[in-house]
Structure 1
């Protein structure tokens, strides 16, 4: 079972309105509900605060967070977009009816609920100002208190504001892009770690900095997208490269194109050309490079070899260990 509580609040009775949080929440819900192929993924509950008749009260927000982390699920995911507040007593998520900062939901309380949850994996995404303090008790400096299975990814540090651009949260825009496939690995899996890497690389040193805190033994896949190469073809890495540093020798029989052949060159062999097609896929995915020449065509026509890159060696080891 995978469940998600997704909250977006634009309307605040006692503070400045926001503009992109509700749309961001809808976008997160849309991408989490199903895998790329249409299979069911997360069972989502959506709370949005758009105006006086559609507000998210503190009571409703707290009760929903408690219900989320009370479920014995494989993954319990909490996403929040809205105002955040920080003071000496810690950080807070503000509901529509919060009259002042410390009347929101304490981030310490959210972490207590997550730490005590029976869910195997607890994922928290926060697109709110000062959210980077989540997981750090007041007065504890950089000491984070996360139980095993808890992961927190926030839009900014404890000192920073979370910005909006074109009426969308900068953090959530990158989060949704990552979940749509920008953070997928070669098997099509998207993990919290790969999402953070995507967001981290997309934001410059002078922009808001995402904060990533986790206490897990192994990352869980949050969404599956179409892989750029089949698992069957990946498993052939150990067939072509049986040992680290091995090279695969090519010759003109691997190249299916007849143009450019010198007189006396052997004709293509169908079995070899099929193998060459797989090797070319490896090359396009940066798993493999030709040795001594720039292009795979030259490697074949000049009877050169090809070898795995560092990334290719990584996936070869995964295949060797039956991880793929």
Structure 2
């Protein structure tokens, strides 16, 4: 029996310069356990965390080279580093000028002696979370190792050892808590546990790489195909006697028959393309779509046959099919499709263009056609179909309904909503706050319904809400474009494409994005985007990403003239609650958002300006109008908008007059800087300023009286006798305050 030895190393508990990694030690333990199974029968040495030192690895490598073993396997999970000194596997005892084991040294030590029959396999998983060393040395940069760095070492050393490696090239995080492993090692374990067993039950280095690379490629383009390098002689068998996953190869004659059948199908279709231009536009295009769709279905069934997709003849036929699909995506007005005649292009986005279709039976419909120049991007095509599937699952009055889907070319038919999207409509330029809030309320209700059916939109933005104008002048919003959606029954994994537009996408969709379920499949993504949508609807401008305070300041100014203090506070609180950076700090669901919207609409719709206010409400309304900020609780004092006058309000009881409320609001005005007039005494200045104030208050003499201040510097008191405790009266007081301050600020 051949002797097989393995060193399995995993280090995650780094100290100091390198970030800690969660799953490396666990990865090593699991790999060691599998390699120790009878099917693999390796003599395994396992070292984790503090045990993973440069000396421990070098000692094992030297001993292994002279052990006479038939197969040597080295596995490492942890950080990889590149600096001016070379490419390194970062050990626990790393130092600034000695990160750990040089890859060149590793390849040299594992190089079999001349004439030796020993096979060597190196498996490296440096595709983990964490940044490069946080304490760079002056004049020398350190970054994380990438696939290209591994390839460079392989080209330089040309080792006999087989190398399978995966390294992140863009410092993204690829450990997933829900898997319990790094992405690469997760699929490596699946392959070792039987997914890579060929029809004889053997797991070879080639079958191992084929399975791992296929599974990682199916995730997203952010995951690079793993590296496979080194000179391989014959079949390097890692394990035997596993249950075969792959069936035995079919006879060559059967493969040739299928390839010939593929050519026949394509030639039959090609004859349809020879129609005249008029015939093609009138019916030929629609016939070609139907025919190529059936051919595409045939190809999809045959691709399931083991080994067929790797044959040159079948691949060539599939490329021809894709070319024909691309040609069908090149359309123009006047062409008749299977659903009607294309009238004009009415929209577009990152996944496709939208056309208006005239159908003699049902009127007009919309047809979303995938970008044909991106048909080779299989993940994006799947995402496009995923958007259709998500919309198909939903049945809400404010979600655009979809109908037929086609693969040749990829596209689907949906209801046509006549109107502008929110960006083109620009509601903030002409709508009152209640009308804007009603659009947001209807949109939130649609999103809430999607969440109820476990569909997360992940791309809420102005372009994806289309508004139709009813005969009574009310705008009705319709939610569309679910291309980035996730839903509970989909099999796709979270990907780079699930990110949306930077102004509206939640931070976790951009900052260290990874496919963790807790981050990519929760309503908090849509909650964040909805908050930014609220900002746009009022401001008619995109929000500043992650700059909540600046956005709130602008919202305050916008709402100042059209909303009450209470309504503004509700709107601002809703915005803040939606757009917090951390998902756990946000409003948790759209039920809460709908409650906010309902309350503020009620406040603005049913609040009469003559409704009686409590004393604190009265003062808060005055403070809101003067400062432009929503009051936080009870005001002790406040500054005017320019900040040069501090105003302190105080209620005082007064004898009830024939008209009035029996209370006086005394407002003490204190300048933030000392008042002075050039070449003028303080007494003369006081006289002039007091006369100005009295003149400015003349239109309000039935309610306003000035009294001089009691301090050395110039101050004054304005006593206001409310006629009633209403918003109308509070707004009149604000006019008096502004008039007095304006006259004091004039030369």
Match of 2:155, SS state, is coil
The CA RMSD measured in Å over matched residues stands at 3.1
Shift in alpha-carbon separation, 1:158–1:192, aligned structure 2, 3 A:
farther
Mapped contact 1:130–1:162 kept (Cα < 8 A) = no
Q: Distance in 1 between matches of 2:123 and 2:81?
A: 16
Aligned match of 2:165: 154
* CA-CA distance at 1:55 after TM superposition: 3.6
Q: Deviation of residue 217 (structure 1)?
A: 2.2
| Structure of greater Rg | 2
Change (3 A) 1:159 1:218: farther
Q: Which moved more, 1:188-197 or 1:99-108?
A: 99-108
Change (3 A) 1:172 1:228: closer
Separation of aligned partners in 1, 2:173 and 2:62: 25
The residue number in structure 2 matching 1:283 is none
What is aligned with 1:130? 145
More helix by share: 2
Residue 26 in 1 paired to residue 24 in 2?
Answer: no
Deviation at 1:246, TM superposition (A): 11
* Alignment partners' CA distance in 2, 1:246 and 1:115: 40
Residue in 1 that maps onto 2:238: 222
3-state secondary structure, aligned to 2:230 = strand
Gaps of 5+ in 1: 248-293, 295-308, 315-324
Cα deviation, residue 72, structure 1: 1.5
TM-score by length of 1: 0.63
Secondary structure in structure 2 of the residue aligned to 1:95: strand
Aligned residue among 11, 14, 19 for 1:16: 19
Q: For residues 162 and 122 of structure 1, what CA distance do their matches in structure 2 show?
A: 29
How far 1:61 sits from its partner (Å)?
2.1
Between the two proteins, the alignment pairs up a number of residues equal to 233
For residues 1-324 of structure 1, what are the structure 2 equivalents within 5 Å? 1-14=3-16, 15-36=18-39, 41-49=41-49, 54-100=50-96, 102-117=98-113, 118=116, 120-128=118-126, 130=145, 132=147, 133-134=149-150, 136-137=152-153, 143-148=155-160, 150-156=161-167, 163-166=174-177, 167-203=180-216, 204-224=220-240, 225-227=242-244, 244=253, 311=307
Provide Cα deviations, 1:36-90, integer angstroms capped at 9, x if missing partner. Answer: 4xxx6111000111xxxx4422212221222223322111000001111012332
Q: How far apart, CA to CA, are the structure 1 residues paired with 2:37 and 2:205?
A: 17
Q: Please give the alpha-carbon distance, in whole angstroms, between the structure 2 residues aligned to 1:93 and 1:170.
A: 18
What secondary structure does 1:98 align onto?
strand
Return the structure number with greater relative CO, CA threshold 8 A, min gap 6. Answer: 1
Contact 2:151-2:227 within 8 A present in 1 as well: no
SS across alignment from 2:25:
helix
- Supply the distance in 2 between the matched residues of 1:119 and 1:214 (Cα, whole angstroms): 15
Q: Counterparts of 1:61 and 1:173 in 2: how far apart (Å)?
A: 24
Moved more, 114-123 or 16-25: 114-123
**Partner Cα separation in structure 2 for residue 74 and residue 131 of structure 1:** 30
Deviation at 1:135, TM superposition (A): 6.0
| CA distance in 2: counterparts of 1:159 and 1:90, whole angstroms | 19
Structure 1 residues 85 and 35: alpha-carbon distance in aligned structure 2, compared to 1, 3 A threshold: same
| CA distance 1:245–1:127, change in 2 (3 Å) | closer
What CA distance in whole angstroms lies between the structure 2 residues aligned with 1:2 and 1:62?
18
Give unpaired runs (5+ residues) of structure 2.
Answer: 127-143, 257-297, 299-304, 311-747
Distance in 2 (alpha carbons) for counterparts of 1:35 and 1:9? 26
